[in-house]
Every structure is written in structure tokens, then in C-alpha cells.
Amino acid sequence: MPFTGLGLDPALLRATRELGFTRPTPVQKDAIPPALAGRDILACAMTGSGKTAAFLLPMMQRFLAKRRGVTRALVLTPTRELAAQVDAHFAELAVHTPLTGAAVFGGVGMGPQEHAFRSGVDVIVATPGRLLDHFRHPYAKLEHLDVLVLDEADRMLDMGFLPDIRRVLRHLPARRQTLFFSATMPPPIVGLAREMLRDPVTVNLERKVAPAVGITHAVYPVAQELKSRLLLALLQRDDVPQALVFTRTKHRANRLAQFLDRHRVPCERIHGNRSQPQRTQALAGFKAGRFRVLVATDIAARGIDVEALSHVINFDVPHVPDDYIHRVGRTARAEMTGDAFTFVAPEEEGELRAIERAIGKQLPRVTLPGFDYTKRPAERLEVPVGERIAAIRARKGDERARARINAERRAQQTAAAPPRADGTQQPARPGMPRRRRRRRFGPGR
């Protein structure tokens, strides 16, 4: 079925053509018709499945016939990046319509967001925390809300947002349409869906959680200290034009970005310690092609959507299988193809086996021709945790020793000082010259 068979307005169909959409993806084909009819939707949809358009297009179609000036839809997302991405996708689809939208998330000023509430943009895309901040003020009223969307509900659960979601619900009209999207359906998410949805249409719930079919997977067994050199060797090949590289920690993201920068690889990093303007600038530069590599942590990369991204590289094996699914889902989006490489040190084999059990297949092991797996690197990406802890303890021991010596010196100085006239001890300051009192002269001297 083409998009023209979904009953969408010509302005929306024109936007889909300009974005290169030819046929609806499975989740779009199954979710858009009942959503247009006003039904609640419970969709088990992976990243890269086209789910964003699956919930945006039907609400936009319905709002075209309604008056402007009141907010009619709220989309809740787990991260700032995903909120910005959904808002940008809305703007692309709404380019030939009068519909307006705004993103509401932390890390930026509240002034423009307050204006969005007061002016009544049609669609607000928000993170729960910043939305609750606005709900403390009288201007943030959503009494005319028609549609609520929960995007990536399982990730909201992982990040501890379920209490915030329930607080948000208290500010929304009870009579509304709810579109509930989640990549997985653990029991707490099923319970939340039962609370929020009325007789929902279910979409793809029987589908097995697995990476997108267009992804080519490869595992590179490599010692931990050789990972940075292996990444550099891969980037020196012409068949890796651009890569999103995942690390487990913010510290490793910083060190890896510095390593690549020293070797003249255009790169940036994105993680929780970076300010929102820094994260936005890094992502924009990566999308524009100014950076060949974007180094990211799992939470910060949530919502990153780069058209035709060729490679995702797991510099560190993720701790849980779901994170692997979400990481590699940044490539091969919207039924395209892409490569996912995973660097596996011997101590990470257990996590890799858990991923293989979860997706139901063994990932192929490969080696890079010409790469010396035996040569020890002259520089280390980072100091091992044990050494860092030992260094911190040694530094703190030195600080305590210096403090003890200074305390003893002060005590000796106090004991050696001559007594004051009142019998108390005058602190001595050996080696310091005695200050002379400045003589003050009256006028005319």
C-alpha cells in the first residue's frame, strides 16, 4: 500500500514524498489507520521502524481541520536528543501546513518554551522532568489536549521516569487518545499501558525483539588496550565513511575523542556531562559531515537519527542486550542497510553471549587484515580503574601527610611565641618581617 492509500491530506503526502518516503513501513501501515479513527494504540516497535511518522502523521491529519491557538498533542520522550529529533521530524512533515510545534527539555532556557505554551503550538514534544517544571506555573495548561504519545516507554522505565509520567498524567484531560510505543514490553510497561489505554489496537506485539534486518553484524575480538588502535585502523579504510561509536562511560568517551583528535580524525563527543548547546552542536556537526566520528554514551545517544548512517561501532560491549539493540538501531533505519561492529575484549565475552542469546543468533567473529594484534600500544587510552584508585589514594595520603606536618608546624610556632600582656600566647610568624606602622601626617606636613 502506498502512502496515498492511507487517506492523508495532500500537504502531508507532499512532505512524505520530499522526505523520500514511498511506501509505509509495517508499523506505519498497521498504526496509522486506527490512529486516524481515534483509537488508542499499543505498539511494540523498534528504533528505525518508522514509528515517529506512525504517530505524527495521524495526529497532524486530524489537527488540520481544527482551529489553531491551543495545544492538542503532547509527545513524551526519555531524552533531550529524542525530543529534539521528534520535533525536527514534525517540522519536516508540517512544512506545507500551518501546524506548529515546540520541543520542551532541560539544559536550555525556559523563556521560549513558556512562549510555546502561551501561544498554543499544536504539538509539544517534551521530557517529563522539564514538563513538570512548567506545570508549576499557571501558563502551562493543557486542558484542550486531544492526543498523548509515549515514545520509547521502556527506556523511560529504565531511566526511572515512571513516577514522573504518572505525575504528568494528573495534569492532562482524562478523555484523550493515547498512542503508546515501546521497543519491549516488560511487566511494569504492560501495567502502565493498562492504566493509560482504553481498548487499544495492538501493533506488532508478537514480533521478536531483534535488530533491524538490514544490519550486517561483525564482532572483532581484541585486547582492551588495542581497541583504540583497531578503531583507528578501521577508520583508515575507505569503506567506513562515518561512524557513531559507543563507549560505556563518559570518561572513556572523552579519552577516545582526544585520541582520535590527536590522530587527525574529525570527531566530537556527546554524553551527560556535556551542556545542551554542546550536545546540539556536536550532533549538528556530525549530521552535516563536519565530524567523521561521533563518540557517545548510551543515554546521550538516545534519539540520534542520522540519515544513511553507514556504521555503528560498539567500542565497549553493552551491559544488557536491549542496549545493543538500541545502539545498532542507529544504522539501517527506515529499511536501509548498515554495518554494526562490536569490539570484544576477553573479559566482555559474557556480555556478548547474553546479547546473542537475546537476539537468537551467534554474531560472526572477524579480524582486520594487516592489523597487528600482538603489538602492545605505546600509549594507553585510559589508566585502568585499579591504577586510578591507587593513584587517588596515594594523592590523598600525601595531602593528609602535608596537612599533618602543617598542623605540627603551627603548634610549634604557637608554643615558641612570646606571651601577650594578658598572659595569652602570641602566635609566632617566623621568617616574616615585622610590619611597621605607617605614620600619618596632618595637613601641611
Q: Structural domain boundaries of the chain?
A: 3-203, 215-386
Distance CA 190, CA 192 (A): 5
Q: Are 99 and 67 in contact (CB under 8 A)?
A: no
Query: What is the predicted pLDDT for the residue at 382?
Result: 59
| pTM assigned to the model | 0.59
Q: Are 92 and 15 in contact (CB under 8 A)?
A: yes
Nearest C-alpha neighbor of 42 from the set 154, 197, 184, 268: 197
Query: What is the predicted pLDDT for the residue at 331?
Result: 81
Per-residue pLDDT of the chain (445 residues; tens, 9 = 90+): 788 889 899 999 999 999 888 889 889 999 999 999 999 999 988 766 789 999 999 999 999 999 999 999 999 999 888 899 899 999 999 999 999 999 999 988 999 999 999 999 999 999 999 999 999 999 999 999 999 999 989 888 878 899 999 999 999 999 999 999 998 788 888 899 999 999 999 997 444 555 666 788 999 999 999 999 999 999 998 888 999 999 988 889 999 999 999 999 999 999 888 888 898 899 889 988 999 999 998 866 666 777 778 899 999 998 878 788 888 888 866 567 789 999 999 989 888 988 888 788 899 999 999 999 988 776 666 555 555 566 667 777 777 878 888 888 888 877 776 666 655 555 555 544 555 555 554 544 4
Nearest C-alpha neighbor of 293 from the set 241, 233, 330: 241
Query: What is the predicted pLDDT for the residue at 444?
Result: 47
* Domain 3-203 CATH superfamily: P-loop containing nucleotide triphosphate hydrolases (3.40.50.300)
Instruction: Choose the CATH number for 215-386 among 3.40.50.1440, 3.40.50.300, 3.40.50.620, 1.10.8.870.
Output: 3.40.50.300
Q: Are 118 and 166 in contact (CB under 8 A)?
A: no
Q: Do domains 3-203 and 215-386 have the same CATH topology?
A: yes
Amino acid (1-letter code) at residue 146: D
User: What is the end-to-end Cα distance of the chain in Å, rounded?
Assistant: 103
